[in-house]
């Protein structure tokens, strides 16, 4: 093998790692302070208590529009015996005007009548009435804000009115970020075989901002021990913290841990967390230096667990609390006792319960983080959770947003993206979320009460009809366990065989797929496309065993199209819009009906009503026609079953 591998890593539990590292840093780190203009201090943390320089109001001030008087001049005035004050006895004042001796009371404009000699009043004024005494709001010398306070807009107003122009605040920690790796390229570079677009550092830069720091991202360093050492060492002198990305797994090109051992002390290497294990927590010349794994999800979770708390500590910012929610997990999750595991989930409210559906668990699945509504955290001490079990979810989206979301589980189609895009634009604070498990998977999710609706396209081989017979079979009418169902009509779409541009193998029908040189890529069991494919194979009298790649399953049309576009496969079954999106050729096989199965009771939900309105809208139809391969004349019609 030749190459040296770092086969290693005794991991330690997350909490222990964090505690050990924070303890090591705690004695080293003293927050830095800077003096800034109050006007630019929003969201900064006060470094010391702030005391008022002036009182507010600055003087005894009228609290009303009216006249300033000497209270003793008004004694005994009443409706029965009004008193007339001559002009030398009062002063017209507006709200906020100063009141000086001899005046010691204000009478409201509404309570006086102009007369020739001056004004007539019909009630006596008591001393200090309608006067805001000096310092009523703020007294000079009074503490306005304590230290360690996050400055808000209202604080800025009050500080200025108390005569404070500058404040001492905690400096934002400056964090240097180094991507490493010979194979990584910048996003603007043209990717070649084996290239990985460097994006973690830009995610980090923004996560630093969210944590209250200032990120400085440096160009990628190639996998060279001396270069990494020189740059990290230099950065330690100039910044408050250093992050080195990748180079922290057990791969052959991982120098970070060796560099950090040479430059300083590695406190922790390897944490019992999944994804995110190969984290390096080091201290170099009194500064925190953290190595994070290269896989985006590992990088994210490592950052949240170890970098964020350090930045918050240095910036004296409080931890941001994540909203949590109890939800029922939609499927069994097995987890190792070796790790605390972060499983990304989609969360929806169906009926009166929240349901969490796990997303892809791979460390590379960055989109699963984008799609996620939150994390289901499985503690290291747990071997997992059973389907239907109640779990605590750390939320990314607000609970109210989740409550206004249509939860769709079933077959994938690009029109779902179109709907998801239109929804929040046209219907304030309403959303659509979809998970792709195929048509049968969608109906099963409906049965378990995990979704509002299931997009399906299931051909009944006996009748040639779509969808309805499957619903009736799974939700038998009159059965106690069952409930009234409906079908929201969706689109007609063309299914076909996707082949590489120019159709180099000359595939023209299902029959050609059995040829030995065609490498096929299939859809998963329960997908409508798989049902159609199996039906067509049977019709043509072909044994699935004769299809090379029949067992290679993809979860979406687009994944099939991507596989065909690469050198991994020659053909797959899918829809025209997927072929167009990936620049593939398309051999038409059959039209089919793609509809939405829905328990009738959900039809009344406002977000489901909005969903139906979108299907009927001009905007939706125009955008779907642009995709190609669809017909949507009756989209949005509701059929009660």
Site for a copy of itself in 305-344 (CB under 8 A): 318-319, 321
- The CB-of-141 to a copy of itself minimum distance in angstroms stands at 3
Of residues 199 and 382, the one with the C-beta less far from a copy of itself? 199
Q: Name the segment binding a copy of itself (CB under 8 A); options: 248-256, 284-292, 437-445, 507-515.
A: 248-256
Reading the block at residue 178, the tokens are 């180094």
Phi, psi of 18, deg, nearest 5: -65, -45
- The CB-of-460 to a copy of itself minimum distance in angstroms stands at 30
For a copy of itself, the binding residue among 35, 76, 400, 463 (CB under 8 A) is 400
- Specify the DSSP class assigned to residue 587: E
Rule CB under 8 A: is residue 367 a binding residue for a copy of itself? yes
- The CB-of-330 to a copy of itself minimum distance in angstroms stands at 22
Rule CB under 8 A: is residue 449 a binding residue for a copy of itself? no
Q: Name the segment binding a copy of itself (CB under 8 A); options: 16-24, 124-132, 383-391, 494-502.
A: 124-132
Rule CB under 8 A: is residue 606 a binding residue for a copy of itself? no
For a copy of itself, the binding residue among 72, 252, 509, 622 (CB under 8 A) is 252
d(CA 51, CA 162): 8
For a copy of itself, the binding residue among 300, 466, 550, 630 (CB under 8 A) is 300
* Residue found by looking up tokens 């320089």 in the block: 53
Of residues 16 and 186, the one with the C-beta less far from a copy of itself? 186
Binding map of a copy of itself across residues 269-298, x = CB under 8 A, - = no contact: -------------------------x-x--
Rule CB under 8 A: is residue 493 a binding residue for a copy of itself? no
- The CB-of-148 to a copy of itself minimum distance in angstroms stands at 4
Inter-residue contact 466 to 458 (CB < 8 Å): yes
Of residues 87 and 511, the one with the C-beta less far from a copy of itself? 87
d(CA 371, CA 313): 30
Rule CB under 8 A: is residue 18 a binding residue for a copy of itself? no
- The CB-of-445 to a copy of itself minimum distance in angstroms stands at 22
Reading the block at residue 568, the tokens are 């991994």
Inter-residue contact 403 to 416 (CB < 8 Å): no
Please report, as residue ranges, which positions from 560 to 599 form the binding site for a copy of itself (by CB under 8 A): 561-563, 565-568, 578, 581-582
Binding map of a copy of itself across residues 74-113, x = CB under 8 A, - = no contact: ------------------x-xxxxx-xx-------xx---
Within 8 A by CB and 6+ apart from 485, the residues are 471, 472, 475, 597, 598, 599, 600, 641
For a copy of itself, the binding residue among 23, 28, 123, 160 (CB under 8 A) is 160
Please report, as residue ranges, which positions from 43 to 62 form the binding site for a copy of itself (by CB under 8 A): 48-49, 54-60
Rule CB under 8 A: is residue 117 a binding residue for a copy of itself? no
- The CB-of-477 to a copy of itself minimum distance in angstroms stands at 37
Rule CB under 8 A: is residue 465 a binding residue for a copy of itself? no
Within 8 A by CB and 6+ apart from 489, the residues are 593, 595, 596, 615, 634, 635, 636, 637, 638, 639
- The CB-of-554 to a copy of itself minimum distance in angstroms stands at 8
- CA distance to 299, 301, 305, 368, 396, per residue, from 363 (Å): 9, 10, 15, 10, 18
d(CA 31, CA 335): 39
**Torsion-angle region of 541 (φ positive above 0: left; ψ -120 to 50: alpha; else: beta):** left
Sheet with 90-93, edge to edge strand ranges? 90-93, 66-69, 105-108
- The CB-of-327 to a copy of itself minimum distance in angstroms stands at 20
Q: Name the segment binding a copy of itself (CB under 8 A); options: 265-273, 346-354, 478-486, 551-559.
A: 551-559
Q: Please, is 331 exposed, middle or buried when counting C-beta atoms within 10 Å of its C-beta (0-12, 13-18, 19+)?
A: middle
Indicate the SS3 state at residue 326.
Answer: strand
Within 8 A by CB and 6+ apart from 193, the residues are none
Of residues 317 and 340, the one with the C-beta less far from a copy of itself? 317
DSSP calls for 166-226: EEEEEPPPEEEEEEB-TTEE-TTSPP-TT-EE--HHHHHHHHHHHHT-EEEEPPPBPS-HH
Please report, as residue ranges, which positions from 171 to 210 form the binding site for a copy of itself (by CB under 8 A): 183, 187-188, 191, 193-200, 202-207, 209-210
Q: Please, is 587 exposed, middle or buried when counting C-beta atoms within 10 Å of its C-beta (0-12, 13-18, 19+)?
A: middle
Rule CB under 8 A: is residue 302 a binding residue for a copy of itself? no
Binding map of a copy of itself across residues 504-533, x = CB under 8 A, - = no contact: ------------------------------
For a copy of itself, the binding residue among 5, 285, 332, 473 (CB under 8 A) is 5
Rule CB under 8 A: is residue 535 a binding residue for a copy of itself? no
For a copy of itself, the binding residue among 80, 81, 153, 480 (CB under 8 A) is 153
Rule CB under 8 A: is residue 345 a binding residue for a copy of itself? no
Of residues 140 and 605, the one with the C-beta less far from a copy of itself? 140
# of chain residues touching a copy of itself (CB under 8 A): 130
For a copy of itself, the binding residue among 327, 365, 497, 518 (CB under 8 A) is 365
Q: Which long-range contacts (CB under 8 A, 24 or more apart) does 544-550 make?
A: 546/514, 547/513, 547/514, 547/520, 547/522, 548/516, 548/518, 548/519, 548/520, 549/519, 549/520, 549/521, 549/522, 550/520, 550/522
- The CB-of-478 to a copy of itself minimum distance in angstroms stands at 40
Of residues 424 and 591, the one with the C-beta less far from a copy of itself? 424
Helix 618-627 vs helix 414-426: crossing angle, to nearest 10: 150
Of residues 5 and 390, the one with the C-beta less far from a copy of itself? 5
For a copy of itself, the binding residue among 75, 142, 265, 326 (CB under 8 A) is 142
- Specify the DSSP class assigned to residue 315: H
Tell me, letter by letter, the H, E, C secondary structure of 429-466: CCEEEEEECHHHHHHHHHHCCCCCEEEECCECCCCCCE
For a copy of itself, the binding residue among 132, 317, 340, 436 (CB under 8 A) is 132
Inter-residue contact 564 to 571 (CB < 8 Å): yes
Q: Name the segment binding a copy of itself (CB under 8 A); options: 249-257, 351-359, 498-506, 611-619.
A: 249-257
Within 8 A by CB and 6+ apart from 269, the residues are 8, 9, 257, 278, 279, 280, 281
């Amino acid at each position: 093998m030749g190459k040296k591998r770092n086969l290693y890593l005794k991991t330690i539990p997350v909490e222990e790692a964090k505690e050990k590292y924070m303890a090591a840093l705690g004695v080293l780190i003293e927050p830095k302070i800077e003096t800034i203009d109050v006007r630019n201090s929003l969201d900064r943390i006060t470094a010391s208590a702030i005391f008022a320089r002036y009182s507010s109001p600055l003087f005894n001030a009228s609290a009303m529009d009216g006249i300033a008087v000497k209270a003793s001049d008004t004694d005994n005035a009443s409706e029965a015996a009004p008193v007339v004050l001559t002009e030398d006895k009062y002063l017209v004042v507006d709200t906020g005007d100063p009141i000086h001796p001899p005046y010691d009371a204000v009478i409201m404009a509404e309570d006086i009548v102009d007369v020739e000699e001056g004004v007539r009043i019909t009630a006596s004024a008591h001393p200090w009435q309608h006067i805001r005494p000096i310092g009523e709001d703020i007294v000079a010398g009074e503490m306005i804000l304590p230290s360690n306070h996050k400055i808000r807009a209202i604080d800025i107003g009050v500080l200025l009115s108390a005569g404070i122009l500058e404040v001492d605040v905690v400096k934002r920690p400056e964090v240097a970020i180094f991507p490493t790796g010979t194979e990584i390229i910048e996003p603007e570079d043209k990717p070649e075989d084996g290239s990985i677009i460097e994006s973690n550092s830009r995610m980090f830069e923004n996560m630093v901002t969210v944590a209250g720091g200032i990120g400085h991202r440096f160009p990628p360093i190639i996998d060279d021990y001396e270069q990494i050492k020189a740059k990290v060492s230099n950065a330690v002198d100039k910044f408050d913290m250093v992050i080195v990305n990748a180079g922290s797994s057990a791969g052959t090109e991982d120098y970070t841990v060796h560099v950090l051992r040479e430059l300083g002390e590695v406190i922790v290497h390897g944490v019992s967390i999944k994804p995110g294990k190969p984290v390096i927590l080091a201290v170099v010349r009194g500064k925190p230096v953290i190595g994070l794994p290269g896989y985006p999800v590992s990088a994210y979770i490592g950052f949240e667990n170890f970098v964020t708390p350090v930045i918050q500590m240095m910036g004296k910012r409080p931890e941001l609390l994540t909203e949590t929610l109890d939800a029922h997990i939609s499927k069994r999750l097995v987890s190792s006792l070796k790790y605390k595991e972060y499983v990304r989930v989609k969360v929806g409210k169906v009926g009166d319960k929240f349901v969490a559906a796990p997303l892809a668990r791979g460390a590379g699945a960055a989109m699963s983080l984008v799609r996620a509504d939150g994390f289901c955290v499985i503690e290291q001490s747990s071997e997992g959770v059973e389907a239907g079990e109640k779990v605590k979810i750390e939320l990314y989206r607000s609970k109210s947003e989740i409550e206004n979301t249509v939860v769709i589980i079933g077959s994938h189609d690009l029109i779902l993206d179109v709907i998801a895009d239109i929804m929040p634009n046209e219907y304030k604070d309403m959303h659509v979320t979809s998970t792709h498990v195929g048509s049968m998977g969608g109906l099963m999710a409906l049965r378990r009460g995990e979704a509002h609706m299931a997009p399906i396209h299931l051909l009944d081989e006996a009748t040639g009809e779509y969808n309805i017979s499957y619903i009736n079979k799974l939700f038998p009418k009159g059965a106690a366990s069952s409930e009234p169902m409906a079908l929201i009509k969706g689109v007609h779409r063309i299914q076909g065989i996707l082949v590489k541009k120019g159709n180099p193998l000359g595939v023209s029908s299902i029959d050609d797929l059995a040829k030995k040189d065609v490498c096929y890529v299939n859809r998963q069991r329960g997908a409508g496309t798989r049902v159609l494919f199996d039906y067509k194979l049977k019709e043509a009298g072909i044994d699935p065993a004769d299809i090379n790649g029949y067992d290679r399953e993809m979860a979406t049309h687009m994944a099939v199209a991507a596989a065909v576009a690469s050198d991994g496969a020659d053909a797959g079954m899918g829809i025209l819009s997927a072929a167009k999106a990936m620049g593939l050729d398309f051999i038409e096989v059959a039209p089919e009906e793609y509809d939405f199965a829905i328990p009738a009771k959900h039809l009344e939900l406002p977000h489901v009503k909005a969903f139906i309105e979108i299907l009927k809208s001009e905007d939706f139809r125009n955008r779907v026609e642009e995709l190609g391969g669809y017909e949507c004349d009756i989209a949005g019609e509701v059929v009660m079953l």
